[in-house]
Homo-oligomer: A and B are copies of this chain.
């Protein structure tokens, strides 16, 4: 057998060649083989589901055959029967398609290594260790998904790609040559030689702490050792003997909350998730007030950096405790966050992000030791911070792109992450644009007279009868509508305390659809004759949603706050559409916590987003966090997103001359000039509010005039 560069094959043949020949003869003489008892020297093996096939000498370990055919099959121990990652199922029966009659005895019997593995670690009865079972006769071998290196993980909606498991940290078990006075090479150099020889890993480096602990580990493991290699380049952890646990943490640092997901780097599974309030809130509720805090308080950046790092350590503690994992087993972590969160995490004063030209310190992805960020994971754990895109478009948006992959689709795709600022991405595989638009905090319930955070007691759903103008609603904490029996009892505990972000969108949209709001956003005083709920409020009117304690009503200023926010959002989107020269968007992803709760139809009724077939408007959930998880589980995703980020065209709304005009036109409901043909199919828009085709065409011309030729 020629030696191959495939990993870990040197010691995998556990039967001596003579025994194998005898075994092959026995198999050839069994009832399948029937009348002809030829000496079989080669056998055909077909691996499913890949269908890869080849002939190999009898006695070839199945793992070796698989690897030489390029079949995707996992191994940490390099074929030594320790890790159990390479399990396969031997097919039984006639496989007409492959022309093979496959039997379990077409591979060798269990050897001691395999028996020891099964008795010690357990294994399904139909499974074999492919590194121990050797080829005897033609056979079909199935590689279950769990045995594949590149398992599909981070399963998402059908329209978005799955993510292959390919973490930045890989474990490798090696047997290292003992030192010898005749060949006085260093222990490190012999380890590196073993890794090259047994795993094909070249040009590896090692962290200083590895070097400091290497000699003891090698001797404790009797020259058997498991190493963790980061991105195929650096040894970051060692364990005496065989070790196969490795974990990673994906962290999404929001202005309000910090969320962390602990992932098993071998399976890609999320083992535990946790979140907590961003402790920086005590320095300022929103981003700009935190930047102001730094400007006013020398060292304030350091305080906030320390605070968020402490929070991340607490989160790591929480998820580790929940999973029974030691914090030192976290070998890798990824981070997303807006530019201010990004800079504060890394320890960069965010002052420059507080004023024009909003210069980022860096817009590339950053790989560091966790210890450089005071994070108490494995002492050599590496962290990767996703790249920021622009001064207002952060690593969170990079995560959203990684999750929603607008750059991979042919469809003209809009991705919106709504918060105090909205990050907007528009484009497709040909071209991608990004900008940020200052929507203000109204969508989160701030600046709304009865607004509140999404919490029990907050109104989150509203319907208004267009005839009677009577509302019904649901509050967080109860599944009942306000006009259903038992609602009063169910909500007694929480009370009915205010309206959260999604509730505000709904109540305004319903008010508009019911004719209470005019196209220009005025609460129509003439409707007061139709319902006592429309009440004078100084020189304007208000709409009483709930006559309790507190009284919950929508006042004119609430409408104005939402109009300002939604006009800013729409104007930003429109700018990107102009730049791309598109009039129709094919799909829309609404990211972020807000996107998860909003009824996309109502968002469109208010004109937050342009017209689009409603069935193609999706909630993307916490797409930024998903992006962090993808970057954790697939190292190439890091390179991919950095490349995408470099290509993304960044638009700064503040210096775009058309922004103001778009903003003004977007103040109307749903819009002063744009048409919403797809929305009109789903809801009946008040007549005056849907500009005629002629109107639309004129507006189109106007836009064409404004665009550079």
Contact = CB atoms under 8 A, between A and B. Distances in A.
Interface in A164-223: 178-189, 208, 211-212, 214-216
A182 B655 contact: yes
A352 interface: yes
Contacts of A349: 212, 215-216
Contact of A362 (B180, B183, B189, B216): B189
Interface string A291-306: 0000000000000000
Contacts of A185: 360, 363
A388 interface: yes
Interface string A653-693: 01100000000000000000000000000000000000000
A655 B184 CA distance: 12
Contact of A650 (B184, B348, B390, B393): B184
A661 B137 CA distance: 62
A361 interface: yes
A279 interface: no
Interface in A615-650: 650
Nearest to A393: B184
Contact of A208 (B215, B347, B358, B654): B347
Contacts of A351: 215
A227 to B, nearest CB: 15
B359 A215 contact: yes
A381 to B, nearest CB: 15
Nearest to A178: B357
B390 A359 contact: no
Contact of A348 (B211, B359, B390): B211
B362 A188 contact: yes
A292 to B, nearest CB: 17
A188 B385 CA distance: 15
Given A186-B364, A364-B189, A179 B346 contact: no
A654 B181 contact: yes
A652 B186 contact: no
Chain copies in complex: 2
Contacts of A364: 186, 188-189
A44 B109 CA distance: 85
Contacts of A650: 183-184
A19 interface: no
A372 interface: yes
Contact of A212 (B178, B346, B389, B652): B346
A363 B189 CA distance: 7
Interface in A330-378: 346-349, 351-352, 356-364, 366, 368, 372
A351 B650 CA distance: 58
A207 to B, nearest CB: 10
Residue with the greatest number of chain B CB neighbours at <10 A, chosen from A215, A368, A389, A650: A215
A368 B205 CA distance: 12
A391 interface: yes
A357 B189 contact: no
B390 A215 contact: no
Contacts of A366: 208, 211
Contact of A214 (B183, B357, B361): B361
Contacts of A179: 357-359
Contacts of A215: 348-349, 351-352, 359, 361
Nearest to A348: B212
Contacts of A188: 361-364
A363 to B, nearest CB: 4
Residue with the greatest number of chain B CB neighbours at <10 A, chosen from A188, A356, A362, A368: A362
A186 B389 CA distance: 9
A357 B180 contact: yes
B186 A359 contact: yes
Nearest to A179: B359
A211 B184 CA distance: 41
11 contacts: A178-B357, A179-B357, A181-B358, A182-B652, A186-B360, A186-B362, A187-B359, A208-B347, A208-B366, A211-B346, A215-B348
